[in-house]
Amino acid sequence: MKQTSRDLRDGDQAPDFELPSSSGTPLRLSSLRGKQVVLYFYPKDDTPGCTLEACSFRDSMPKFDGLDAVVLGVSKDSIESHSKFIDKYSLNFVLLSDEGLEAHGLYGTWKAKMNYGKKYMGTERSTFIIGADGKIKKIFRKVSPQGHEAEVLAALRA
């Protein structure tokens, strides 16, 4: 991890990064200025919660398109893993591979977690809505995948 985040807040400039993407070419966040961006961090491809969240975004994509919003999923999975996940569930948006945890660090989503009394590091499921001006409009932390896309759509419309 190159850089660690300070606590990001609504109205802050979204930290820029460039990561390998499932589209085949690296994607720099700042290249999307002029569009709203839904940047969502999730723990792992093809797991129950992450699949539910991804498929909800997939099924609502016409609504996101109608709001001129780009959806980007970020996990530490490889591009190969992302490709299998996209193919298996016909995902219709780009996934970014953050194996070095660069974006996780910038957005403060790599956290100590607890499962069955065991402490470990992992991705905190989080979503950042970034306005066309490159500023963070809304932050969702510790997201529950069920119905999250509806919360995100409501925030984009606000």
Q: Which residues are annotated as catalytic?
A: 50
> Which residue in 110, 33, 125 sits closest to 73, CA to CA?
125
Strands in 126-130's sheet, in edge-to-edge order, are: 94-97, 69-75, 36-41, 126-130, 136-140
57, 64 Cβ separation under 8 angstroms: yes
131, 35 Cβ separation under 8 angstroms: no
